[in-house]
Amino acid sequence: MTQAPQYTGTGTGTGFVDAEQLLEMYRRMRRIRRFEERASELYKATEIPGFLHLSIGQEASAVGACWPLGARDGIASTHRGHGHVLAKGLDTASMMAELMGKEAGTCHGRGGSMHIADPGLGIYGANGIVGAGLHIAAGVATAAKLRAAGDVVVAFFGDGAVAQGMFHEAVNLAAVWDLPVVFLCENNHYSEFSPAADQHRAPLSARAAGYGIGYEHVDGNDVLEVARTMTGQVERLRQGGGPVLVEPPAAPSTTGTSTPRST
Ligand SMILES: Cc1ncc(C[n+]2csc(CCOP(=O)(O)OP(=O)(O)O)c2C)c(N)n1
Ligand SMILES: [Mg+2]
């Protein structure tokens, strides 16, 4: 007889997920990992043009963050967005074609890894400009608030965006307009080669307090903890609650800017 999956971490709560849902979370994380491993091979073989930023090690935060989202909910992503868009429901075949610049790609090969988007799935783009997804998320959340159908938005960003003016503008506007958006910082404490301490002094919890919004720290390696936290926050936003900043620290292995073509 097959043993049901056992979970011993802190993320689970009674009735939160059953064994099949646990397996589905694993499938989603595995799909992202395998996709990026293959993309890395193709990049090294020069089959993928431009740059390729992998999110290996961050699968749990992508899958956990998107777990409570439906098709009408939105996400805005970053230069490191493969996991986010796959977790939101993009199919691997059209996405890989997009990375390879092919007509069969999600955006007919015009966007590539850093500008892939599918608004029909609530995917408002990966983004090559650090911090730029935050404004897009605020805009999508404004539309969601006006529609008043309970839709929410998750704005993924890295710690490198925190010293940008765009971060201030988007978070402040979301706070004063009570927009239904989760600002989710995958914090690996580096922006390219610059440690976070060289860029900003205050921790994200203090930043959130400065804007008068909530803050939650979660274990970015624990998909259940991220999913449970996000499920609670998304439910709160669907009921009309205001924005929140969620911080799952990211794995140091993802600090590299681009996967090298030759190693
Ligand atoms: C506005 C802007 N400035 C600089 C860059 C160059 N750049 C590309 S990735 C990156 C680091 C971003 O760091 P972070 O947001 O923490 O993401 P991480 O790569 O650490 O996941 C920078 C500075 C850029 N793309 N956009
Ligand atoms: Mg970073």
In the chain, the domains with their CATH numbers are: 19-254 (3.40.50.970)
Quote the mean pLDDT of the chain. Answer: 92
Check residue 14 and give its pLDDT.
44
Task: Tell me the two tokens of residue 75.
Answer: 């996400």
d(C-alpha 158, C-alpha 46), whole Å: 27
Sheet of 74-76, strand order: 74-76, 153-158, 181-186, 244-247, 214-217
- Cβ distance 79 to 54 under 8 Å? no
> Of ligand 1's atoms, which has the minimum distance to the CA of residue 55?
21
Query: Residue range 43-64: average pLDDT?
Result: 97
| Cα end-to-end span (Å), the chain | 44
Closest residue to atom 13 of ligand 1, CA basis: 191
Query: Residue range 210-219: average pLDDT?
Result: 98
d(C-alpha 88, C-alpha 179), whole Å: 20
Distance 19 CA to ligand 2 centre (A): 33
Check residue 174 and give its pLDDT.
98
> Of ligand 1's atoms, which has the minimum distance to the CA of residue 188?
20
Residues 171-214 pLDDT 10s: 999 999 999 999 999 999 999 999 999 999 999 999 999 999 99
What residues are neighbours of ligand 2 (ion), with CB under 5 Å? 158-160, 188, 190
Query: Residue range 105-132: average pLDDT?
Result: 98
- Bridge partners of 187, per DSSP, are 249
Closest residue to atom 20 of ligand 1, CA basis: 191
Residues 2-48 pLDDT 10s: 444 444 444 444 468 999 999 999 999 999 999 999 999 999 999 99
Check residue 251 and give its pLDDT.
73
Residues 232-260 pLDDT 10s: 999 999 999 999 999 998 876 544 556 66
206 secondary structure, DSSP code: H
Check residue 249 and give its pLDDT.
87
pLDDT at 159 over 90: yes
Query: Residue range 212-237: average pLDDT?
Result: 97
Which of 36, 79, 168, 188 to mutate to test ligand 1, by most ligand atoms within 8 A of the CB atom? 79
